[in-house]
């Protein structure tokens, strides 16, 4: 698990999310990282964030054709990124893994 800190907030990646991120094209990787930093900088009002139905604590952020599934921890001081992938397959993959 990897952590990046910004203004008292942390972004942690599961091993699965790190692996998925490393396989994505570089431009998509940069877009996802930029979006996560926007989330922790509290500019989330401009982001496309939705709570995932059927999961009590999971949310997703839309980054173009990709989705990042995360769980806010410790009253939104930590963002734990669980999965990421193309919108065609991320939800089926999430169901399979959860």
Q: What is the pTM of this model?
A: 0.77
Looking at residues 32-46, what average pLDDT do you find?
81
82, 14 contact by CB (below 8 A): yes
Looking at residue 18, the DSSP 8-state letter turns out to be H
> Which residues contact residue 97 at a Cβ distance below 8 angstroms, ignoring those fewer than 6 apart?
16, 83
| pLDDT for 6 | 45
Residue 53: both structure tokens together? 């139905």
Looking at residues 15-34, what average pLDDT do you find?
93
Beta pairing partners, 81: 13, 70
pLDDT at 25 over 90: yes
pLDDT at 43 over 70: no
């Amino acid at each position: 698990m990897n952590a990046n800190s910004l203004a008292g907030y942390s972004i942690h990646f599961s091993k699965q999310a790190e692996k998925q991120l490393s396989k994505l094209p570089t431009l998509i990787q940069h877009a996802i990282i930029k979006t996560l930093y926007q989330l922790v900088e509290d500019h989330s009002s401009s982001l496309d964030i939705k709570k995932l139905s059927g999961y009590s604590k999971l949310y997703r952020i839309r980054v173009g054709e990709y989705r990042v599934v995360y769980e806010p921890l410790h009253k939104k001081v930590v963002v734990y990124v669980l999965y990421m992938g193309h919108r065609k397959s991320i939800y089926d993959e999430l169901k399979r893994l959860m």
